Structures are given as structure tokens and as C-alpha cells.
Amino acid sequence: MASEEGCGELLARLSDMGAVIKAIKRDLPFTGPHAGLALLATLHRCGEQRIGDLAGLFEVDLSVMSRHVADLRDRGWIERVPNPHDGRSWYVRLTPDGTRVAEDNLARVRRLLAETLEDWTDDEVAELSVLIGRLRSSFDAHRARATRLPRTAQTRTAQTRTAQTVPQAAVPQMVPQTVKGH
């Protein structure tokens, strides 16, 4: 198990990721909202998705995801299609124009990363990718375990953990900038 002391440097590096993400966004000529680009990239990678599933993936309220979907639909980049198994729900998927926008911008980000990481090997990039994926999986698993606790135990556990392990000055740094767009 990782020690609290050992995670101190990780906490600092996670905070640094906000600057990396901002730099990537700044260098893109994308004309839509940056959260929209992340949504396009997700649909490009995963295929059509339910809006509720996307909200969960991005950890935003359904109303926030609905606004992003509506904006991208108005731009002609995604479309809503009925769920063939449940007429009460919808999927969103990329339109051909949305696929082009996603592919163009993803290619630009890949080029930017390749230029920026010119002194990295492909093995180092792959190792970092695996570790970031593992970090996300660990957080998802931790959250899933926490949601199975009774509400009073969740509150007590979170309060105890915050009071004992996280200096209050570090709390704002714990939430790195993400692709959520808000």
C-alpha cells in the first residue's frame, strides 16, 4: 500500500497536470468549447453513448452534459439517436463532420505531444499511459467502494481522512484541471 508520505510528490505532480492540459488547449485551433472537444474525443474512441453514461464518465451532472451535447448538436458534430432497446433513452454519436473535427484535433494533440516528448521513448510514453490509466481505475474503484458504505460511514470516513491526512492548504491542489469544461 502506498504511504501518505510517498503520495506527497504525486499530489504535486497531479497539480502540475492542470498546466499541461491548459497548454494543450491553448495550442489547439478548436473553435468550440474545450469540454466539447473532450466529448468528441470520447465518442470517437468509444462510439455512441448514453448521455447519462457520459455524465458519469466526465463526473458532471446530467444537466451539464445535456448542455454540452446540445451545443455540439447545434454545431452539427453529434446527433441523438433513439436507443433501440429502450425507447425512453437516447444515444449520442458523432456525425461525419464531428468525426472530422475529432480526428483533426486529436491528430494535432498527438503531434504536439510527440514534439513535446521528443526526448521520451515510446516505452516511456506507454508506461506513463498505463500508470495514468491505473490511477484512474484506482480512483474509480475507491469511489465504488465508498458508495457502498452507509451514508454516515461515508461522511465519517471522508472527514477522518481529510482531517488526518490532507493539510488544508493542499486541498485546492488535489483537484487537477480536467476536461470537464466547468
Of the pLDDT bands very low, low, confident and very high (cuts 50, 70, 90), residue 21 is: confident
Q: Which pLDDT score, from 0 to 100, does residue 41 have?
A: 93
Residue 175 is assigned to a structural domain of this protein = no
pTM of the model: 0.70
**42 neighbors 82 (Cβ within 8 angstroms):** no
Q: Average the pLDDT over 107-134 and give the result.
A: 95
Region of poorest pLDDT, from 75-79, 109-113, 127-131, 173-177:
173-177
The last residue of one of the domains, among 62, 95, 119, is 119
Q: What percent of the chain has pLDDT over 90?
A: 49
- Domain presence at residue 38: yes
In a domain, 181, yes or no: no
Give the pLDDT confidence score for residue 30 in this predicted structure.
78
Q: Are residues 105 and 130 in the same domain?
A: no
DSSP 44-91: HHH-SEEHHHHHHHHT--HHHHHHHHHHHHHTTSEEEEEETTEEEEEE
* pLDDT, mean of residues 114-142: 94
Pick the residue with more confidence: 59 or 73? 73
Cα→Cα distances 158→1, 109, 154, 161, Å: 19, 37, 6, 5
**Is 18 inside a domain boundary?**
yes
Residue 15 corresponds to which cell in the numbers above? 497539480
Question: Is the pLDDT reported for residue 161 higher than 70?
Answer: no
